[in-house]
Amino acid sequence: MGRYLVHTFGCQMNAHDSDRMEEVLRAHGWTNAESVEDADLVVLNTCSVREKAEQKLRSEVGKLAPLKNRKNRGLVLAVAGCVAQQEGEKLLARVSHLDLVIGPDNLAELPMLVADQMAGAPPRARTVFDLDAPRFLAAAPEPGATPVSTFVTTMKGCDERCSFCIVPYTRGPERYRPSGEIIDEVARWVDSGAREVTLLGQTVDSYRDPSLPPPASDDPDESQFPSLLRAIATRVPGLRRLRYTSPHPRHATAALAAAHAELDVLAHHVHMPVQSGSDRMLKRMIRRYTRAEYTERVRRLLATRPDMTISTDVIVGFPGETEQDFQATLDLVRDIGFVGLFGFKYSPRPFTPALKLADDVPEAEKSERLARLFEVAEAQTRAHLATLVGTRQEVLVEGPGKTPKSWEGRTARNEIVHVDGRPAEGRGLAGEVVEVEIRQAFKHSLAGELTAKAIELLPLESGVARPSRKRRALPLVL
């Protein structure tokens, strides 16, 4: 077989799909190419959630076209991901040098589709949802090449239909993975060296276990997600940290809060998208909760651990958003005390219900609101990080830091910590949970040093030097 290159745009779900695509290709004898010049297959795994990501795809395709024509006539050029699903055949018609358009539910067919192209088949679009028999590509962790922190898919698609979002169109309705498969995959990752797993789903907390009878409760807010968290904690005891992304506030039930209070393996942090602090906007966005409901659910989570933190996503300049609505968002950001915030300017996306609403907030106003939002949010992040200086934090080290003498890891919440003291030899700290004394706070991260206790507990192979100790004289026994 040949050599492939997968280029990923967009979210964690796409990055996860790219990993699975690479595994499927490798299982069929393909190897990773160093660059596009020596690749026989280039896959652009696309995102259509934000306008910019789609623009990026167009520019990337434009760059590859001359390469395909001049340098490497045999190159197979494929587009996968949300733009592929959204545009399908139309993309083939618009971009003449494209060979393959493949949707997120058809990734297992990639080697076969590429083989057809190499044999001279005409360009093809394959974008069929697996509604009747949902398929989840199982990860194949490689011992020795396993990251400290990894992702495991629990579901795909979304039933929410927020008015600004194209995901229900590009990823289809919700389909869930049986809990046994999820737990086995978490266990496989841990056996091969991973220490932290993030469960991945568009609305990860709406999980229903297809291998169990439907829950007795008729409450649409009640999911089986807390049970899944408990089952993972019990059956994979070697797992050090468990995270999930992204939950929807509607499913952040009392049972989920109880799981946080009970399970030490769960991170002390939740990223809970709110999108707006104005009830009028939340209604127009079809988020299906009010500001008061969001606040109550988030406060319930915050109460589960003394050091629990929450971050969020916000859209500014949604159709009809007034200064008053925006002020309500700023007010909510201060009220909850988010320690992290991803903010975006609204942009109309194809096939979304919000297209019926006039995009009436001027671009300059959107930019100005976003800048004001970031100012408030960043001040909160800085203030939060400053409170941690002088404290001792448990840090899961993920790998080498940016300087030759540092490591990088995260706290049980989600703060990035640069840890001093990378040894010249030995396997170092990757995968260790170490106690770090925080010395400094930056804009988005912390820096600190291993405590004496942490150094004492480290395995010898880590290469970290222990402080020298005076040898105690043994009593002489005659």
Instruction: List residues near ligand SF4 by CB under 6 A.
Output: 158, 160-162, 165, 167-168, 202-203, 248
**Smallest distance, Å, CB 250 to ligand SF4?**
9
For the record, the structure tokens of 372 come out as 């004001």
3 vs 161 by CB, closer to ligand SF4: 161
11 vs 148 by CB, closer to ligand SF4: 11
158 vs 336 by CB, closer to ligand SF4: 158
**Smallest distance, Å, CB 161 to ligand SF4?**
6
203 vs 253 by CB, closer to ligand SF4: 203
85 vs 117 by CB, closer to ligand SF4: 85
169 vs 399 by CB, closer to ligand SF4: 169
Buried-state track 64-103, b at ≥16 Cβ within 10 A, e below 16: beebbeeebeebbbbbbbbbbbbbbeebbeebeebbbbbb
**Smallest distance, Å, CB 166 to ligand SF4?**
8
**Smallest distance, Å, CB 157 to ligand SF4?**
9
**Smallest distance, Å, CB 143 to ligand SF4?**
34
168 vs 172 by CB, closer to ligand SF4: 168
In angstroms, how far is CA 169 from the centroid of its own chain?
A: 20
141 vs 277 by CB, closer to ligand SF4: 277
**Smallest distance, Å, CB 460 to ligand SF4?**
47
Place of tokens 């009392």: 254
168 vs 431 by CB, closer to ligand SF4: 168
**Smallest distance, Å, CB 37 to ligand SF4?**
37
Q: According to the 3-state scheme, what is the secondary structure of the chain? A: CCEEEEEECCCHHHHHHHHHHHHHHHHCCCEECCCHHHCCEEEEEECCCCHHHHHHHHHHHHHHHHHHHHHCCCCEEEEEHHHHHHHCHHHHHHCCCCCEEECHHHHHHHHHHHHHHHCCCCCEEECCCCCCCCCCCCCCCCCCCCCCEEEEECEECCCCCCCCCCHHHHHCCCEECCHHHHHHHHHHHHHCCCCEEEEECCCHHHCCCCCCCCCCCCCCCCCCHHHHHHHHHHHCCCCCEEEEECCCHHHCCHHHHHHHHHCCCECCEEECCCECCCHHHHHHCCCCCCHHHHHHHHHHHHCCCCCCEEEEEEEECCCCCCHHHHHHHHHHHHHHCCCEEEEEECCCCCCCHHHHCCCCCCHHHHHHHHHHHHHHHHHHHHHHHHHCCCCEEEEEEEEECCCCCEEEEEECCCCEEEEECCCCCCCCCCCCEEEEEEEEECCCEEEEEECHHHHHHCCHHHCCCCCCCCCCCCCCCC
**Smallest distance, Å, CB 285 to ligand SF4?**
8
For the record, the structure tokens of 338 come out as 């988010």
352 vs 411 by CB, closer to ligand SF4: 352
50 vs 161 by CB, closer to ligand SF4: 161
**Smallest distance, Å, CB 320 to ligand SF4?**
18
**Smallest distance, Å, CB 46 to ligand SF4?**
16
**Smallest distance, Å, CB 331 to ligand SF4?**
22
Q: Which residues contact 93 (CB under 8 A, 6 or more apart)?
A: none
